[in-house]
Structure 1
């Protein structure tokens, strides 16, 4: 059986960095500002861009291809995850420019949507399926959004649990390149959550139940051992993510939340940004933390969740597409 590998995650953030506390929405709501900028929540800086989203995407794809040492001409499929393309035929022009700039002109391109900030992880799981069944050797998953387009300009999002940033991220899912083996994928939808309409306590219970169901589904496909696993989640407020994830068995040190303060919530791109940061971190010689055996990439929206479980140790390059 072909083992899909996640290879060479990369990202590009909006070129402008601004203090979260200076957002007009927060200046007008001091209580919300205090909550989101407190150490418990952790938001410090957000990023914004004057460039079109495909420009951010092209930059991170070029970096990804260079790290993977795969020419763009060898990419079979591109899965685009974004709500920030034009809603008319000019989107085709923008995507054509992205493909031309990155050399992926021979790839089949499709967009994946409708699961908000969980969509990118659904796309990664879909890419892994295409590789596993032999339909494609190399699939590029590209996520990116600009808040001016994806949220209508709102920066306080996710029911007040996150600050939206502009950015893009990508990862190559390959049958051949060295990378982290994809072990399992699961998703969950709770209809109606995005519209509210229920009491806050009921909404909280519904979301806690959703996380429990998601990890139950993931564990049914491959064992998930929290003591040996690190979660790379969406950049919601740290106290929010810790509440949900400690409930399903993860200690706080097993939840990667450094990106909350540094880049805020780049929507669907967060887990890939956190993966790229983790893979790029030098390991201290005197590190005492137990090395994880697996990573969970967790994309979280208001009513959708999606998780991809990968091994923490890369497989070497493989020619022939099976392992």
Structure 2
């Protein structure tokens, strides 16, 4: 079977960085401000953009293709995981401009949606399936959202557990480029908080959803929590993530939460952003430099009603040449 590799994750943040304490929503709600900016939650800065989301996506895509060493005209398919495209036919124009700017002259583009901030991880899993069965050799996953479009302009999101930022992230899922092996993907849909539910009931429902997701992921590709070097998740408040993930076996040491304060919640792009930063740190002797072949990473995208996780090998596989042998 062909091994699908996740290669060269990259991202582009909104060009403006502002303190979260200056958000009108927090200025109007001191109690929420105190909770979200506390050390337990960790939010400090958010990013925003007045550029179209396609510009952020194109910049990230060019970076991914350059790092992966794959020309744009060799990409077969682009999967767009976003809620920020126009809702009318002008979306076709915007996507065509994105493909042209990134040099994706032969690629077919399609969108995935309806899974909120879990959509990008579902896209990575879908791309891996297409690569494994030979339907495509290179699939570019493109995530990106602007809060003005994706959340109706709201910055306090996820039931008050996150502050939204503008960003885009990309990764190549490939049969031949060097990258981390994609071992499995699982997703779970659950009802959002029901009217009249107490906070305790809502918490219990969310914990049950995370248990179900990780049960499904472990069924797809058996592994143990102690084999996972890092969970690279959506950037919710640190204390919220620790509550959900400690229940399924992942203590705070396994959670990559360094970006919560720096960039807030970049919606569906967070796991790829966090992975890109982890791999960049490995080049300078960071934590990922110690990853072993048997170690695992989990990318976790979480929305109000949807969860999706991708299991990766923590050590990259080398590129594959035309003769099927490793190169580089």
1:75 to 1:197, Cα distance in 2 relative to 1, 3 A: farther
**CA distance in 2: counterparts of 1:110 and 1:194, whole angstroms:** 30
**CA distance in 1: counterparts of 2:286 and 2:124, whole angstroms:** 34
Tell me the equivalent position of 1:298: 300
Tell me the equivalent position of 2:107: 107
SS at match of 1:42: coil
Tell me the equivalent position of 1:2: 2
TM-score (norm 2): 0.95
Tell me the equivalent position of 1:55: 55
Tell me the equivalent position of 2:259: 259
**CA distance in 1: counterparts of 2:177 and 2:194, whole angstroms:** 42
**CA distance in 2: counterparts of 1:321 and 1:141, whole angstroms:** 26
SS at match of 1:310: strand
Tell me the equivalent position of 1:211: 210
Tell me the equivalent position of 2:146: 146
Instruction: Point out where structure 1 has 5 or more consecutive residues left out of the alignment.
Output: none
Instruction: Point out where structure 2 has 5 or more consecutive residues left out of the alignment.
Output: none
Tell me the equivalent position of 1:268: 268
**CA distance in 1: counterparts of 2:185 and 2:324, whole angstroms:** 20
1:197 to 1:56, Cα distance in 2 relative to 1, 3 A: farther
Q: Aligned runs of 1:26-175 on 2, under 5 Å? A: 26-175=26-175
Whether the 8 Å contact between 2:282 and 2:288 is mirrored in structure 1 is no
TM-score (norm 1): 0.96
SS at match of 2:319: coil
Offset at 1:283? Answer: 5.9
1:142 to 1:321, Cα distance in 2 relative to 1, 3 A: farther
SS at match of 1:306: strand
RMSD: 1.8
1:196 to 1:259, Cα distance in 2 relative to 1, 3 A: farther
Offset at 1:321? Answer: 9.5
Offset at 1:226? Answer: 1.8
Tell me the equivalent position of 1:179: 179
Whether the 8 Å contact between 1:175 and 1:322 is mirrored in structure 2 is no
Tell me the equivalent position of 1:228: 227
SS at match of 1:314: coil
1:142 to 1:194, Cα distance in 2 relative to 1, 3 A: farther
Whether the 8 Å contact between 2:57 and 2:143 is mirrored in structure 1 is yes
**CA distance in 2: counterparts of 1:321 and 1:190, whole angstroms:** 46
1:212 to 1:84, Cα distance in 2 relative to 1, 3 A: same
Whether the 8 Å contact between 2:141 and 2:170 is mirrored in structure 1 is yes
Tell me the equivalent position of 1:319: 321
1:201 to 1:302, Cα distance in 2 relative to 1, 3 A: same
Tell me the equivalent position of 2:312: 310
